[in-house]
Amino acid sequence: MSSPTHYLISAPGKVILFGEHAVVYGKTAIAGSLDGLRTYILFEKSDDGLLELNLPKLGLHLPLIWPISALPYSKVAAVSKATDNNSSQELAFNEELLKELKPIVLDGNAKNKDIQEINELQQVAASVFLYLYTSLEDKQNSWCGMKVHVTSDLPVGAGLGSSASYSVCLATGLLLALGHIPVPNSNEGNTDTSFSGYSSPMNLINRWAFQAEKVIHGIPSGIDNAVATYGGAVSFTKGEMENVIGFQLLRFLLTNTKISRDTRAQVAKVRVLYDKYPHIVDPILEAIEGMSLSFNEIELIDINHYLLNSLGVGHSSIDRVREITAQHSLHSKLTGAGGGGCVLTLLRDDITSDEITKIKSALASLGFESFETQVGGNGVSVIDSSVTISKQEFLSSENIQQKFSVWKHFT
Ligand SMILES: Nc1ncnc2c1ncn2[C@@H]1O[C@H](COP(=O)(O)OP(=O)(O)OP(=O)(O)O)[C@@H](O)[C@H]1O
Ligand SMILES: C[C@@](O)(CCO)CC(=O)[O-]
Ligand SMILES: [Mg+2]
């Protein structure tokens, strides 16, 4: 069989019901995948020795291009090839490599710099790609070049795990294209959260996506990449996951305040508070964990929100959303890192569609965008070269997940 010439990967966003921030300190959190809101990456093989990355969602209308030969491989060799794939151990994070990559993105390739200025957000997205590529390159099995196209249903930097779904797609496509994992052959859904062996493809994807999240967030808990990899609805504690029954049945309204923020800064803010007042902040994190452990008590949503506010990650726009939904006796809280971004509102079973329409239009009149959703469903999904996918078709498709009905899942 001829070797694959392209892969299309998709991975979902996520929503956290209880436990954001506390989960960074080893406490339990509850989260579910957003099956209908996904990131998609098309990897196309090329033979020109170049890496091309297209990030239109981040406002880059021209590709970023690097010669593969310019990548700082010596930094990878110094730390180890980092492909100890049969171990449960966390992969060592290669700070040296990351330091080398930043100048490459900014001025290592005159071609990139001449064409367009690169902002911090775009630089981070490019660094993640180069970090994974350089770490995973395997001269024996790798393609001799690739063109990578990224698109997403998810708002970037709004608390719905856009970074994790980007990280999971990148890790999956690169592990496949660089010869580390085989193409899955199952068409069954993959919401299996039982870690099925440390050398399983899903485990490898999750561990490399965690490295990518470290490039983006600093010190992530790993919950977002785990949900984007495995899908489903889970409780997560220090890397261990269990399915949560009942969470998938709940209906939510998600409201994007459109106040941009980044997770790294929000997590760092809580860290400063924690380091200064550990005896005060630790009990707050414990209380948040208490809610994750009794997550069926839905009115705890308000208390969770107040506790997150006390950690300094609230925003006046989130309070506005809470006021409007409270007028209809609904409970809301920030979701994800906070500081703006999205608000999660639990919809009662008895709420009518008329009432939901009224709430949505009240929110829209303040410039907020809201939509109904449920959690659970597939994690990472793959289409290989047995299906013809043109770049144009990929980039112009509105609903890629539905357009291609041949997604395969790792088991
Ligand atoms: N479609 C995308 N294309 C390229 N990079 C992306 C994309 N989506 C996210 N990213 C990367 O992720 C970063 C945003 O991640 P951040 O963690 O701040 O927000 P989030 O993941 O949306 O929210 P949260 O972590 O609270 O769920 C961007 O700066 C970019 O580097
Ligand atoms: C704020 C945080 O708890 C969730 C971000 O979606 C950060 C993390 O868990 O890495
Ligand atoms: Mg993120």
Determine the Cα–Cα distance for residues 334 and 190; give it in Å rounded to an integer: 28
Work out the mean pLDDT of the chain and round it to a whole number: 90
Which residues neighbour 329 within 8 Å (Cβ) at sequence distance 6 or greater? Answer: 348
Single out the catalytic residue among 163, 165, 292, 317.
163
Q: Within a 10 A sphere around the Cβ of 149, how many other Cβ atoms? A: 19
Ion ligand 3 nearby residues (CB, 5 A): 163, 263
Distance CA 311, CA 25 (A): 13
Backbone angles phi, psi at 330, to 5 degrees: -110, 150
- Residue 116 has a pLDDT of 64
Contacts of 250 (CB under 8 A, 6+ apart): 346, 347, 374, 375
pLDDT average per 10 residues of sequence, the chain (411 residues): 84 97 98 96 95 92 90 72 57 92 65 68 95 88 89 96 98 94 80 61 95 96 98 96 91 97 96 98 97 84 97 98 97 98 96 97 98 95 88 80 86 80
User: In sequence order, what DSSP letters do the residues of 205-257 get, joined into one string?
Assistant: HHHHHHHHHHHHHSS--SHHHHHHHH-SEEEEETTEEEE-SSGGG-EEEEEE-
Q: What's the pLDDT at 107?
A: 47
Q: Is the CB of 40 under 6 A from ligand 1?
A: no
Nearest CA to ligand 1 atom 10: 163
Looking at ligand 1, which residue's alpha carbon is closest to its atom 19? Answer: 157
* Structure confidence at residue 106 (pLDDT): 57
Residue of the CA atom closest to atom 6 of ligand 2 = 336
Contacts of 238 (CB under 8 A, 6+ apart): 26
Q: What is the pLDDT of residue 82?
A: 45
Ligand 1 pocket member 56 (CB < 6 A): no
Extended strands (E) in 23-133: 29-45, 50-54, 64-67
Q: Which atom of ligand 1 is nearest to the CA of 121?
A: 29
Question: How many alpha carbons lie under 13 Å from residue 157 in its C-beta half-sphere?
Answer: 19
Of 192, 224, 262, 384, the active-site residue reads 224
Q: Whose CA is nearest to atom 20 of ligand 1?
A: 157
| Residue 332 falls in the annotated catalytic set | no
Which phi and psi (to 5°) does residue 7 adopt?
-135, 140
- Read off the pLDDT of residues 253-295 as tens digits, 9 standing for 90 and up: 999 999 999 999 999 999 999 999 999 999 999 999 999 998 7
Please choose, from the candidates 159, 175, 166, 172, the residue with its C-alpha nearest in 3D space to the C-alpha of residue 213. 166
Amino acid at 410: F
Whole-number Å distance, alpha carbon 219 to ligand 2 midpoint, is 9
ipTM: 0.99
**What's the pTM value of the predicted model, to 2 decimals?**
0.95
Atom of ligand 2 nearest to the CA of 24: 9
Pocket test for ligand 1, best of 156, 167, 223 (most atoms within 8 A of CB): 156
- Ligand 2 atom showing the smallest separation from residue 14 Cα: 6
Query: Pick from 262, 261, 284, 288: which is nearest to 273 by CA?
Result: 284
Cα 384 to averaged position of ligand 2 atoms, centre (Å): 32
Distance CA 220, CA 211 (A): 9
3-state secondary structure 162-207: HHHHHHHHHHHHHHHHCCCCCCCCECCCCCCCCCCCCCCHHHHHHH
Helix or strand (DSSP H, E) at 18: strand 6-18
Catalytic annotation present for 200? no
For ligand 1, is residue 58 a contact (CB within 6 Å)? yes
Give the list of residues 6+ apart from residue 313 with CB closer than 8 angstroms, or none: 21, 266, 269, 270, 334, 337, 338, 339
Sequence-distant (6+) residues with CB within 8 A of 89 are: none
Q: How far apart are CA 236 and CA 244, in angstroms?
A: 10
Q: Which atom of ligand 1 is found nearest the CA of 124?
A: 31
223 CA to centre of ligand 3 in angstroms: 10
Q: Which ligand is nearest to the CA of 223?
A: 2
**Is the CB of residue 385 less than 8 Å from the CB of residue 6?**
yes
Closest ligand 1 atom number to CA of residue 161: 27
- How buried is 92 (Cβ within 10 angstroms: 0-12 exposed, 13-18 middle, 19+ buried)? exposed
What is the CA(7)–ligand 3 centre distance, in A? Answer: 24
Other beta carbons within 10 Å of 224: 33
What is the distance of C-alpha 341 from the center of its chain? 14
